[in-house]
Amino acid sequence: MYTRICLVFFAALASFAGAQAQTTPPKEISDLLSKYTCLACHKVDAKLVGPSYQDVAKRKYSNEKMVELIYKPVPANWPGYPPMAPMTQVPKPDALKIAAWINSLNKPAKPAAKKS
């Protein structure tokens, strides 16, 4: 019984840790989002001025398409939001890192491994 309770507790803890990882960008990405003022309009999991990064990820744009949209936004893609300013100051390697991270938000969290 004690073993079962421990397994349930640790599975829940792992699930919570996976959810935290989804809403907290890695330091490198967080630094880029701050440097290029992305966080002024976007949050990971909630609408701010612009859509959440999770909502952007659901669109399943390729990383390259997302970079293209960073440089030349298409307001018609996001009705109900103010138009995003072109972010041409973001170097392509940094934009690709940001895009890859955003796309990673659409992948389901890995389930906790079960122990026998």
* pLDDT, tens digit (0-9, with 9 covering 90-100), for 65-88: 999 999 999 999 999 999 999 999
pTM: 0.74
By residue count, the chain amounts to 116
Fold of 26-104: Cytochrome Bc1 Complex; Chain D, domain 2 (1.10.760)
Determine if residue 37 is left, alpha or beta; phi over 0 gives left, psi from -120 to 50 gives alpha, anything else beta: left
d(CA 24, CA 45): 9
The string of pLDDT tens digits covering residues 33-55 is 999 999 999 999 999 999 999 99
Which sequence spans correspond to the domains of the chain?
26-104
User: H or E stretch including 4?
Assistant: helix 2-23
State how far the Cα of 63 lies from the Cα of 101, in Å rounded to an integer: 9
